[in-house]
């Protein structure tokens, strides 16, 4: 009995002990949770405060960065105002408004006498970028600068940026739709070999403009200077117009003859009007004959023979990429929204065209010109330029050539210039350390030296 009771008591005591243990365990866990919660709250609070402090610091840095860049843009604007006349075209320069054969008008500025130097600007720019070159060269040369069609004060005619209208009206132009598209190909007449096609509709139309302007102004033996798109137009002129003129008029196709058309000679209050074919033929021989001596040397500055975009491997692999890029740009042009962003970002976008430590006034002037061109025109023109290609006929450039490129040019990198210098028979390559795409601003003294040396190479 005693054992049973003891056992019973023992059993009951054990059960109570286990109950007490469970209660103590639960209390301990509750205490742990409370302590953990307090500790978690403390740690969480510290983490939250740290995140808030980091976010506040980042916001302060961003605000400080915005203030710094905004002040930089404001200073650049002030610098442009201070530069004033130093960046402007000469006040005593002569201005012409020359009517093209398609009813457009090309604004031309000239000053000086002697051997002609003809200056062609790049896309979205204008003749006004050459102010420093006018100041440096017009004392010894006849300096002539064009606003290319759609730029500055020049207005496109009915051809727009497409093929010259004479091509569309000619038998070999059948299939053109006026926008540069020929049976799905915008590089030339149906059946024309690639080596015989113009680089692009836009550059061919501008090359015709150039020929008409030089014919009107009586320019021969010129040193032709093309920057960026202007270099493409110079190459188009030399490989499609002047090169053919050396072969004689009988070898020309209807497209070639159209490209060689020029306006009637003579001036009338600074304006010229396109003459009929009979009028043109009664000038100094035919247009193609006159073209033979119009350019005696060429400077190709920060430009390309195409393709503008490059993938590894043969050039033909890049052509689909160019086509896609062209379509995207063409679609963007239809939205009538400018390709450049608004506000201070616009300045920094223009800054990309420059190399190390540019003058802020030059960046501002470039930005203003970029924004001045109607957005739809920018899109249409750039959509055609990305498809430009004359790299397979550079041997036709038979005049002395200077190829100029900045080592920091990210728009037309140095490989473009190297290929030009390798394939043009009488070419010299000039690299400008730390210079970007805008050498007329960034290295005006060096550019002047190169042009004077080129004129000496070309002779009288």
Q: Is the pLDDT higher at 242 or at 25?
A: 242
Question: Quick check: is 3 in a domain?
Answer: no
Question: Per-residue pLDDT tens for 256-288?
Answer: 444 444 333 333 334 444 443 333 333 433 343
Q: Does residue 370 surpass a pLDDT of 70?
A: yes
Average pLDDT across the chain, whole number:
75
Return phi, psi of residue 299, to 5°: -110, 120
Whose CA is closest to 142, among 221, 233, 209?
Answer: 221
The encoded tokens of residue 45 equal 């609070």
Q: What is the pLDDT of residues 147-170, one digit of tens each?
A: 999 999 999 999 999 888 665 554
Quote the CA–CA distance of 260 and 207 in Å, as a whole number.
9
Segment 177-196 shows an average pLDDT of: 43
> What's the confidence (pLDDT) of residue 221?
96
CATH number of the domain bearing residue 261: 3.40.50.1820
Length of the chain measured in residues: 460
Least confident piece of the model among 66-75, 256-265, 401-410, 430-439: 256-265
What confidence score (pLDDT) does residue 169 get?
53
Question: pLDDT at residue 252 above 80?
Answer: no
Is residue 395's pLDDT more than 80? Answer: yes
Can you give the residue range of the structural domain that contains 282? 79-458
According to the model, what pLDDT value does residue 289 have?
41
Q: What is the rounded average pLDDT of the residues 128-134?
A: 97
**Mean pLDDT value across residues 200-207:** 94
Q: What is the pLDDT of residue 31?
A: 52
Q: pLDDT tier at 380 (50, 70, 90 boundaries)?
A: confident
Question: pLDDT tens for residues 76-108?
Answer: 667 667 666 667 899 999 999 999 999 999 999
User: Domain for residue 33, yes or no?
Assistant: no
Provide the percentage of residues in the chain whose pLDDT is more than 70.
57
d(CA 301, CA 303): 6
Q: What is the structure's pLDDT at 382?
A: 85
Task: Give just the sign of the alpha carbon dihedral 337, 341, 347, 352.
Answer: negative
Q: Sign of torsion, CA 190 192 194 199?
A: negative
What mean pLDDT comes out for the span 304-326? 63
Confirm if 436 and 358 have CB atoms less than 8 A apart: yes
Assigned token pair, 186: 């915008």
Residue environment code for 5-20, b if the CB has 16+ CB neighbours within 10 A, otherwise e: eeeeeeeeeeeeeeee
Categorize the per-residue pLDDT at 422 as very low, low, confident or very high, splitting at 50, 70 and 90: very high
State residue 54's pLDDT score: 58
| Residue 189 pLDDT class (50, 70, 90 cuts) | very low
| Residues 298, 401: Cα–Cα separation, whole Å | 5
Q: Is the pLDDT of residue 460 over 70?
A: no
- In this prediction, residue 338 has a pLDDT band, given cuts at 50, 70 and 90, of low
Does residue 327 carry a pLDDT above 60?
no
9-23, 153-167, 218-232, 258-272: which has the highest mean pLDDT?
A: 218-232
- What are the distances in angstroms from CA 6 to CA 1, 11, 15, 21, 94? 8, 8, 14, 22, 129
Which range among 163-167, 203-207, 409-413 shows the weakest confidence by mean pLDDT?
Answer: 163-167
Beta bridge partners of 299: 225, 402
Instruction: Identify the residue with better confidence: 298 or 250.
Output: 298
pLDDT at 291 over 60: no
Which pLDDT score is estimated for 198? Answer: 78
Contact 218, 265 (CB under 8 A): yes
Q: Does the structure show a pLDDT above 70 at 345?
A: yes
Residues 6+ apart with CB under 8 A from 155: 104, 105, 149
For residue 47, the model assigns a pLDDT of: 65
Q: How many domains does the chain have?
A: 1
What is the number of other CB atoms lying within 10 angstroms of the CB of residue 321?
15
Q: Which of 10-19, 233-242, 265-274 has the highest mean pLDDT?
A: 233-242
Residue 124 has pLDDT above 60, yes or no: yes
**pLDDT tens digits along 297-310:** 999 999 999 987 76
Cα–Cα–Cα angle for 236, 241, 246, nearest 5°?
130
Tokens found for residue 217 = 């102004």
Lowest mean pLDDT among 133-147, 212-226, 360-374, 441-455: 360-374
With respect to residue 18, please indicate whether it lies within any of the assigned structural domains: no
* Domain presence at residue 216: yes
Q: Which two tokens stand for residue 37?
A: 């919660």
Residue 196 scores a pLDDT above 90: no
Task: With respect to residue 23, please indicate whether it lies within any of the assigned structural domains.
Answer: no
- Establish if 359 belongs to a structural domain: yes
**What pLDDT was estimated at residue 293?**
78
Is 140 within the bounds of a domain? yes
Residue 21 domain-assigned? no
| Residue 223 and residue 298 in contact, taking contact as beta carbons nearer than 8 Å | yes
């Amino acid at each position: 009995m005693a054992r049973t009771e003891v056992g019973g008591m023992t059993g009951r005591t054990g059960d109570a002990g286990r109950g007490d243990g469970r209660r103590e365990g639960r209390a301990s866990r509750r205490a742990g949770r409370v302590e953990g919660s307090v500790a978690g709250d403390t740690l969480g609070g510290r983490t939250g405060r740290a995140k808030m402090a980091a976010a506040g610091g980042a916001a302060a840095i961003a605000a400080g960065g915005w203030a710094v860049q905004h002040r930089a843009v404001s200073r650049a604007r002030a610098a442009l105002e201070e530069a004033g006349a130093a960046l402007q075209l000469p006040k005593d320069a002569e201005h012409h408004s020359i009517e093209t054969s398609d009813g457009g008008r090309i604004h031309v500025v000239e000053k000086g006498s002697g051997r002609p130097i003809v200056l062609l600007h790049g896309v979205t720019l204008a003749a006004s970028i050459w102010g420093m070159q006018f100041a440096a060269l017009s004392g010894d040369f006849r300096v002539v600068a064009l606003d290319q069609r759609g730029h500055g004060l020049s207005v496109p005619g009915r051809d727009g940026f497409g093929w010259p209208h004479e091509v569309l009206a000619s038998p070999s132009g059948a299939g053109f739709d006026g926008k540069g598209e020929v049976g799905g190909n915008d590089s030339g007449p149906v059946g024309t070999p690639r080596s015989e096609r113009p680089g692009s509709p836009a550059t061919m139309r501008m090359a015709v403009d150039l020929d008409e302007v030089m014919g009107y102004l009586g320019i021969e033996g010129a040193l032709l200077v093309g920057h960026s798109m202007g270099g493409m137009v110079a190459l188009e002129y030399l490989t499609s117009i002047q090169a053919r003129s050396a072969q004689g008029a009988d070898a020309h196709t209807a497209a070639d003859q159209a490209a060689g058309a020029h306006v009637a000679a003579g001036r009338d209050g600074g304006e010229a009007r396109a003459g009929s074919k009979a009028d043109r033929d009664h000038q100094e021989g035919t247009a193609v004959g006159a073209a033979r001596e119009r350019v005696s040397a060429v400077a190709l500055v920060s430009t390309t023979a195409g393709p503008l975009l490059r993938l590894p491997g043969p050039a033909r692999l890049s052509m689909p990429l160019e086509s896609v890029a062209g379509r995207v740009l063409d679609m963007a042009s239809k939205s009538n929204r400018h390709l450049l962003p608004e506000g201070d970002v616009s300045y920094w976008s223009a800054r990309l065209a420059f190399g190390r430590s540019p003058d802020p006034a030059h960046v501002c002037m470039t930005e203003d010109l970029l924004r001045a061109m109607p957005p739809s025109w920018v899109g249409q023109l750039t959509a055609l330029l990305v498809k430009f290609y004359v790299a397979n006929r550079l041997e036709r450039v038979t005049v002395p050539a200077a190829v100029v490129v900045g080592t920091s040019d990210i728009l037309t990198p140095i490989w473009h210039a190297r290929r030009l210098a390798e394939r043009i028979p009488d070419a010299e390559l000039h690299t400008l350390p730390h210079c970007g795409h805008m050498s007329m601003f960034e290295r005006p003294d060096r550019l002047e030296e190169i042009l004077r040396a080129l004129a000496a190479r070309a002779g009288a």
